[in-house]
Amino acid sequence: MNALYACIRVELVKFFRAKIALVTLLVFAIFTPSMILGPGFSPLHVLYIEGSFCFSIIAAWIFGWEFVHKTSTELLVFPAARSTVVFAKVIALAAGVLILSAGNFILSCVITGTWEAAAQDLARQGILTVMLLALCMPVFFLSLCSRGYFLPVAVSVAVILYVNIDSSGLPFTRYIPWAIPLMYVMEENSLQPVDIVMLAVMGVGGLLASLAWWRWADHT
């Protein structure tokens, strides 16, 4: 437990001192007001649009930064189990996602001038945040496999753009996990048991795959 706590503290310090934290906060601070004040955008829509991209970028950066800056091997000699390092990075990712989601909620309340309207969607924003966090796990794993952050960011952006452009097109788009948060934003009652299963598989599967890769991959 002490090793996990130490790893989490290190990862949180690295994340909040990095430029990626400032950049994502600026994106939310700049685009949230303009989008909420625009026609047809609710705080839930804004969280989906900004979160889909920003959360994926953070997920790719968490481990991708280590490979790009040649510090990944230093994690191997850290006095903690390899799984502990992965869990610490996932917790740092979750912390960043929750902070940005909370920031979106606070900004929405300030901009709209009413807490009641934003609070009505608070539960849905929480559910949407969990959905987006689950979809970050495959991106997290892809950053390990590619040993960087360019490929996972490119793949996630391509998939997100596809489901947004073709959300009512091909019939199998309904069964792409990245389309589930979009349908939930558009219609509250669209969430089906199969959707929950798909999101759980993506989240848990991505985490387990990341643990396995970091444990058994060739790091030489």
**DSSP 8-class letter at 79:** S
Q: Report yes or no: 89 and 11 within 8 Å, Cβ to Cβ.
A: yes
Tell me, what's the pLDDT at 171?
A: 62
For the chain, the structural domain boundaries read 2-216
pLDDT of residue 58: 87
The answer to whether the beta carbons of residues 93 and 62 sit under 8 Å apart is yes
CB of 219 closer than 8 Å to CB of 66: no
d(CA 115, CA 113): 7
Which pLDDT score is estimated for 212? 92
Instruction: Look up the pTM and report it.
Output: 0.86
pLDDT at 119 over 60: yes
CB 200 within 8 A of CB 134: yes
Closest CA to 86 of 72, 97, 96: 72
Nearest alpha-carbon partner for 212 in 64, 83, 73: 83
Q: Compute the distance between CA of residue 186 and CA of residue 182 in angstroms, rounded to an integer.
A: 6
